[in-house]
Amino acid sequence: MQNMHDNLTKSSFFFGAATSAHQVEGNNIHSDWWKYEKDFTKGISSGRACASYELFKEDRKLLQEMECNSYRFSIEWSRIEPREGEFVQSELDRYISQIDDLLEHNITPLLTLHHFSNPAWFEDQGGWTVKDAYKKYLRFLEFILPSLAGKVKYFVTFNEPNIYIYSKYIVGSWFPGQRRPMQLIRCLRNFIPAHRKAYKMIKDLDPESQIGIASQFTVFHPAGTHFDLLNWVMRKTMSLSFNFLTYNLFWRKHLDYIGINFYTRTRVAISFSDAVRLNFNPEFYEDQKMHFLQFPEDLKLALRQVKKYGLPVIVTENGMLTNDDRERQDYLKEIFKYMQESILDGVKLIGYFHWSLMDNFEWSFAFKPKFGLYSVNHETFAREAKPSAQIYRDLIRHYRKKFEVYEIK
Ligand code: BGC
């Protein structure tokens, strides 16, 4: 009988942490978020964020402190192409030096090519909803990819296309701030060729590269206790469109691994009076109670659901929104327990990236939600370890051998 791990070679598991450029770098003045964010954050600007643009070596030291062997971060398109067609080599060089610095310290980069933010000029033309907009993104990739080949082996082309579309066009909580559900089709018409062509471009430069997307995954549960068929059908439909559309219909043949961003559970209630009620909603952020919806055991259910693809899986993001770091510590321990159980169940889990390395600019919620293993002083930009950073290090030590598993051949 063929062992399901036969096409994998033994190697070390990726223990990492994650950030994205706009959330940590600061002064990202040519991005669409910079231009529009204040209208969605009650006037708060990302400003210098965590000043990681200058302090990336400090960030790398934090990873070393925790004994992480990998780092997921993103490259900011608007820094490299601040005006359409004008490419700034020195900005690309800065990212290359960041990558070199990681490699010198035996930290594998997992590089995200698009994490929610675009150049302002691109958004002003209509962004991802304009016909053939993806060609502009590919032109940018043509500029950067040759310099990355051989240095970066693991790529995420898009971070959470499902959340991008949901926030921008379905609930309208990001600019332009209108519910325009039909735009999601136009957006997908660009995301799909963008991902596929990016996949080919990267493979042509380096066939060894491993390419995925990081898609948010939430397990849908019934809000009530009794079974009813309508609710079941609704949950299946929602799971199919939210969780699996990205993997199934569009990207399946262009994925080397499944990237899962795992945070919360979604409870579905459907009734004639109440229509559809979801627990994935902003007030949980507002009052900092999102943690009530964090169920680490759901990670195991999520991993079981993606096992059917037979691909390696990376938890590209997972973390907890809380001001009480003790909760984060307990949560982390639980998450590791469920990852181990999943590996024993035959899931080809090859990496885990904690969101986030440090507290950062949390999009339309500005700086209020705290997800970090480190806190950041916004006057001095000093980073301070929360106790959970040490717990994470201890967990890495404890599970390093147990998780020493497989990588794609
Ligand atoms: C995003 C991150 C975000 C995190 C916490 C994910 O949806 O990829 O950028 O900060 O969730 O909300």
What is the tens place of the pLDDT at every residue in 81-130?
A: 999 999 999 999 999 999 999 999 999 999 999 999 999 999 999 999 99
pLDDT confidence of residue 273: 53
**In this structure, are residues 353 and 318 in contact, taking their beta carbons and an 8 Å threshold?**
yes
Query: Best mutation site among 23, 362, 368 for ligand 1, i.e. most ligand atoms within 8 A of its Cβ?
Result: 362
* Confidence check: pLDDT of 4 > 50: no
**In this structure, are residues 106 and 50 in contact, taking their beta carbons and an 8 Å threshold?**
no
Average pLDDT over residues 345-369: 96
Q: Which helix (H) or strand (E) holds 158?
A: strand 154-159
Average pLDDT over residues 245-251: 73
Atom in ligand 1 nearest the alpha carbon of residue 356: 10
How far apart are the CA of 303 and the centre of ligand 1, in A? 19
pLDDT confidence of residue 221: 82
Atom in ligand 1 nearest the alpha carbon of residue 160: 8
* Stronger pLDDT, 44 or 222, i.e. the higher one: 44
pLDDT confidence of residue 121: 98
pLDDT in tens, 13-61: 999 999 999 999 999 999 999 999 999 999 999 999 999 999 999 999 9
Least reliable range by pLDDT among 8-17, 200-209, 258-267: 8-17
Strands, DSSP E only, in 19-95?
70-74
Strands, DSSP E only, in 223-371?
258-271, 275-278, 313-318, 349-355
Which residues fall within 8 angstroms of residue 396, CB to CB, at 6 or more apart?
15, 66, 67, 68
**In this structure, are residues 250 and 195 in contact, taking their beta carbons and an 8 Å threshold?**
yes
Q: Tokens for 337?
A: 């327990």
> What CA dihedral angle connects 367, 370, 371 and 373, to 10 degrees?
110
* Stronger pLDDT, 395 or 10, i.e. the higher one: 395
Atom in ligand 1 nearest the alpha carbon of residue 159: 8
Indicate which residue's Cα is closest to atom 5 of ligand 1. 362
Which residues fall within 8 angstroms of residue 258, CB to CB, at 6 or more apart?
212, 247, 306, 309, 311, 312, 313, 314
How far apart are the CA of 318 and the centre of ligand 1, in A? 9
Residue 34 phi, psi dihedral angles, 5° rounding: -55, -40
* Confidence check: pLDDT of 299 > 80: yes
Q: What is the mean pLDDT of the chain?
A: 90
How far apart are the CA of 324 and the centre of ligand 1, in A? 19
Residue 251: pLDDT band (50, 70, 90) is low
CA 333-335-340 angle, to 5 degrees, is 100
- The length of the chain, given as a count of residues: 409
How far apart are the CA of 169 and the centre of ligand 1, in A? 17
CA 371-375-377 angle, to 5 degrees, is 135
* Confidence check: pLDDT of 339 > 80: yes
**In this structure, are residues 329 and 296 in contact, taking their beta carbons and an 8 Å threshold?**
no
* Stronger pLDDT, 291 or 357, i.e. the higher one: 357
Cis ω before 147 (30° cut-off from 0): no
Q: Tokens for 407?
A: 């990588």
Residue 171: pLDDT band (50, 70, 90) is confident
pLDDT in tens, 96-109: 999 999 999 999 99
Atom in ligand 1 nearest the alpha carbon of residue 371: 5
What is each CA distance from 228 to 222, 232, 234, 270, 271, in whole angstroms? 9, 6, 10, 10, 11
* Confidence check: pLDDT of 278 > 90: no
Q: What three-state secondary structure class fits 255?
A: coil
pLDDT confidence of residue 280: 40
Q: Strand pairing of 8-10 and 406-408?
A: antiparallel
Atom in ligand 1 nearest the alpha carbon of residue 214: 8
Strands, DSSP E only, in 328-393?
349-355, 374-376, 383-385
Rg of the chain over Cα atoms, rounded to whole angstroms, equals 20
Query: Best mutation site among 110, 317, 328 for ligand 1, i.e. most ligand atoms within 8 A of its Cβ?
Result: 317
* Confidence check: pLDDT of 283 > 60: no
pLDDT in tens, 304-338: 999 999 999 999 999 999 999 999 999 999 999 99
How far apart are the CA of 409 and the centre of ligand 1, in A? 30
pLDDT confidence of residue 225: 63
Residue 281: pLDDT band (50, 70, 90) is very low
How far apart are the CA of 408 and the centre of ligand 1, in A? 27
pLDDT confidence of residue 224: 64
* Confidence check: pLDDT of 62 > 70: yes
Query: What is the Cα–Cα distance from 181 to 103, expressed in whole angstroms?
Result: 42
Average pLDDT over residues 52-74: 98
Q: Where does ligand 1 bind, in terms of residues with CB under 6 Å? A: 20, 23, 159-160, 163, 216, 261, 317, 355, 362, 371
How far apart are the CA of 264 and the centre of ligand 1, in A? 11
pLDDT > 90 in the chain, percent? 76
Q: Which helix (H) or strand (E) holds 48?
A: none
pLDDT confidence of residue 18: 99
* Confidence check: pLDDT of 138 > 50: yes
Residue 181: pLDDT band (50, 70, 90) is confident
How far apart are the CA of 315 and the centre of ligand 1, in A? 13
How far apart are the CA of 366 and the centre of ligand 1, in A? 12
Query: Best mutation site among 116, 158, 243, 261 for ligand 1, i.e. most ligand atoms within 8 A of its Cβ?
Result: 261
pLDDT confidence of residue 271: 60
